[in-house]
Copies of this chain bind each other. A is one copy, B any other.
Amino acid sequence: MTSHPDLYAIVPAGGAGTRLWPLSRAGAPKFLHDLTGSGRSLLQTTVDRLTPLGRGVVVVTGERHVEAVRAQLPGLAPRDLLAEPSPRDSTAAIGLAAAVLAERHGDPVVGSFAADQVIDAGPGFAEAVRQGVVAARAGHVVTIGIAATGPSTAFGYVRSGVSLGLPDAPDARVAAGFTEKPDAETAAEYLATGEYRWNAGIFLVRAQVLLGHLERLLPQLHTGLREIAAAWDTPRRADVLERVWPGLQRIAIDHAVAEPVAAEGGVAVVPGDFAWDDVGDFASLAGLLPAGADDVRVLGPRDAVLAVDAERPLVAASSGRLVAVLGLPDAVVVDTPDAVLVTTRDHAQGVKGVVDALRAAGREDLL
Contact = CB atoms under 8 A, between A and B. Distances in A.
Interface of A: 22, 303, 306, 308-309, 321-328, 331, 333, 335-344, 346-347, 350-351, 353-354, 357-358, 361, 363, 366
A344 B342 CA distance: 11
A342 B354 contact: no
16 contacts: A306-B361, A308-B353, A308-B357, A309-B353, A321-B337, A321-B339, A322-B363, A323-B340, A324-B340, A325-B342, A326-B342, A326-B351, A326-B354, A327-B347, A328-B331, A328-B347
A309 B339 CA distance: 18
A305 to B, nearest CB: 10
Contacts of A324: 22, 339-343, 354, 358
Contacts of A333: 340, 342
Contacts of A337: 321
A340 B366 contact: no
Contacts of A361: 303, 306
Contacts of A327: 343-344, 346-347, 350
A255 to B, nearest CB: 31
Given A350-B309, A354-B306, A342 B322 contact: no
Contact of A350 (B306, B308, B342, B344): B308
A79 B350 CA distance: 58
A341 to B, nearest CB: 5
Contact of A322 (B325, B331, B366): B366
Nearest to A339: B322
A347 to B, nearest CB: 4
Contact of A306 (B306, B308, B357): B357
Given A321-B338, A326-B354, 15 more contacts: A22-B324, A306-B361, A308-B357, A321-B340, A322-B339, A324-B339, A324-B340, A324-B342, A326-B343, A327-B346, A328-B328, A328-B331, A328-B344, A333-B340, A335-B340
A325 to B, nearest CB: 5
A55 B324 CA distance: 45
A342 B353 contact: no
